[in-house]
């Protein structure tokens, strides 16, 4: 290993990461100068301000993307990170408060430690480690700090309007050794206007889920009892709580475990828990049963069978489907699912199957968002160089990986995910109790310093 971080810089990195985690940078309504909300703006300001203190040239592109630069040359190595995070979910499920950045048991805890504030700060200190050396450069290095990765990638779309793409790039937002394949990401919405429904329902409101890349840990339904229904039909269970409200309505709360839509677990998804419970309790002629039936027929199976999409390939494995949002009110019902499909398949092949299968449903459906899959052959020179850095650092002989998650690697050509998840370490991004071992942060600084050096330095 050529580069090792000093204890002083390592300590500074951890302290800076704690400060960054303490900013709850979840996407919110825009404010003046903050297109994705005030907290994301604060996180961007902190990151760029700290990079400037470390001696780097920094700027932001109209508050959509931050840039930290070093090196020289006509070509550019881009490193894409992001400082926005998914919502923390149920605070009671966390061992430590999600934005406290507590250090316990040799780990730092909090939303964003793994995805992606920890790797982002580690790359910044890897750049600092190199900047302090007498290095001749073949390329410029540009750390690109995104602010909308967990949502709609408006940040990257804006960046593309203003800046040229990097020559090559990696993002520390996947898995080691190198992620050379990412499944396609297809988000579908299913909707029906309530005035189309001919049968009334005692279910007045349902709300579950906030984001399309997170399966909800909590789902809630409000019930208005009628002469045909009784409160005795609604009993608490291990996963269901019942609360009688002052207006006589019943609040039903289903509690599961929030997770990643890229790795769905039907049994812990709060949408599934709530709908399964309501199926047992609602009157047989209740209008909400149409929603339950649609879910059971088309959406419940995580292998996509309800969409005629039981598909797989040798590179990236099986297609998965996960419901992530459910809304029901006086006007409409809206359900959203997130599909991850094999990287060798085409979007139209998936959509043709969906059209055929859902043609008999009374719900309308549409594509909410799509990110195409990526695949870079493992013998590509860029991949082999990153693999050499990895094998040299960890003394392991692994193969490039395919993942179900989506990273900024889709943003530009010649871009892959390189880390940050180390083999054998817990994948807890988007979950309660997200945390990273302190030793892992040290490894990140050092391996990214070695990778940047291998890719951009003039090596005799």
Check: CB of residue 72 under 8 Å from CB of residue 137.
yes
Check: CB of residue 169 under 8 Å from CB of residue 143.
no
Q: Report the alpha-carbon distance of residue 320 to residue 418 in Å, rounded.
A: 23
Active-site residue, selected from the candidate residues 76, 84, 150, 443: 84
Q: Which residue in 246, 198, 195 sits closest to 222, CA to CA?
A: 246
Q: Sign of the CA dihedral 435, 439, 443, 445?
A: positive
Q: What is the largest CA-CA distance in the chain?
A: 85
First to last CA, the chain: 17
Distances (CA, A) of 297 to 73, 228, 290, 293, 320: 57, 27, 10, 6, 16
Q: Report the alpha-carbon distance of residue 251 to residue 220 in Å, rounded.
A: 7
Q: Report the alpha-carbon distance of residue 416 to residue 322 in Å, rounded.
A: 25
Q: Report the alpha-carbon distance of residue 322 to residue 303 in Å, rounded.
A: 9
Q: Report the alpha-carbon distance of residue 378 to residue 386 in Å, rounded.
A: 10
149 is catalytic: yes
84 is catalytic: yes
Active-site residue, selected from the candidate residues 102, 148, 149, 434: 149
DSSP per-residue string spanning 276-336:
HHHHHHS-TT-TTHHHHHHIIIIIS-TTSGGGT---EETTTEE-EEEEEEEEE-SSEEEEE
Check: CB of residue 388 under 8 Å from CB of residue 459.
no
113: number of Cβ within 10 Å? 28
Q: Hey, which residues are catalytic here?
A: 84, 149
């Amino acid at each position: 290993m050529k580069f090792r971080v000093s204890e002083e810089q390592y300590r500074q990195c951890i302290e800076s990461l704690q400060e960054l985690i303490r900013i709850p940078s979840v996407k919110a309504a825009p404010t003046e100068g903050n297109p994705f909300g005030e907290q994301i703006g604060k996180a961007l300001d902190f990151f760029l301000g700290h990079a400037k203190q470390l001696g780097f040239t920094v700027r932001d592109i109209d508050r959509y993307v931050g840039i930290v630069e070093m090196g020289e040359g006509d070509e550019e190595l881009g490193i894409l990170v992001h400082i926005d995070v998914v919502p923390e979910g149920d605070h009671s499920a966390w061992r430590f408060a999600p934005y406290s950045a507590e250090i316990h048991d040799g780990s730092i805890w909090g939303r964003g430690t793994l995805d992606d504030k920890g790797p982002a700060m580690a790359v910044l200190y890897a750049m600092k480690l190199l900047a302090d050396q007498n290095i001749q450069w073949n390329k410029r290095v540009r750390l690109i700090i995104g602010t909308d990765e967990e949502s709609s990638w408006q940040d990257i779309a804006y960046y593309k309007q203003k800046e040229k793409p990097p020559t090559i790039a990696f993002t520390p937002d996947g898995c080691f050794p190198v992620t050379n394949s990412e499944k396609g990401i297809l988000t579908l919405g299913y909707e029906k206007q309530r005035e189309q429904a001919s049968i009334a329902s005692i279910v007045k409101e349902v709300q579950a889920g906030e984001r399309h890349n997170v399966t909800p840990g909590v789902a809630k339904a409000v019930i208005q009892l009628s002469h045909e229904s009784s409160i005795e039909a609604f009993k608490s269970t291990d996963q269901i709580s019942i609360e009688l409200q002052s207006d006589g309505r019943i609040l039903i709360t289903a509690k599961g475990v929030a997770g990643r839509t890229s790795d769905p677990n039907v049994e812990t998804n709060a949408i599934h828990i709530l709908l399964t419970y309501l199926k047992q309790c609602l009157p047989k002629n209740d209008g909400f049963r149409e929603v339950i039936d649609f879910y059971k027929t088309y959406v419940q199976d995580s292998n996509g069978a309800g969409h005629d999409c039981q598909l797989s390939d040798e590179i990236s494995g099986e297609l998965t489907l996960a419901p992530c949002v459910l809304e029901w009110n006086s006007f409409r019902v809206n359900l959203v699912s997130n599909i991850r499909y094999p990287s060798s398949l085409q979007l139209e092949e998936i959509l043709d199957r969906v059209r055929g299968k859902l043609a008999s449903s009374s719900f309308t459906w549409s594509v909410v968002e799509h990110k195409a899959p990526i695949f870079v052959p493992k013998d590509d020179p860029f991949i082999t160089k990153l693999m050499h850095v990895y094998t040299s650092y960890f003394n392991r002989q692994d193969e490039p990986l395919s993942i179900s998650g989506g990273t900024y690697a889709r943003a530009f050509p010649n871009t892959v995910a390189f880390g940050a998840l180390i083999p054998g370490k817990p994948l807890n991004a988007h979950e309660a109790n997200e945390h990273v071992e302190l030793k892992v942060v040290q490894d990140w600084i050092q391996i990214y310093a070695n990778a940047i050096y291998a890719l951009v330095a003039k090596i005799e």
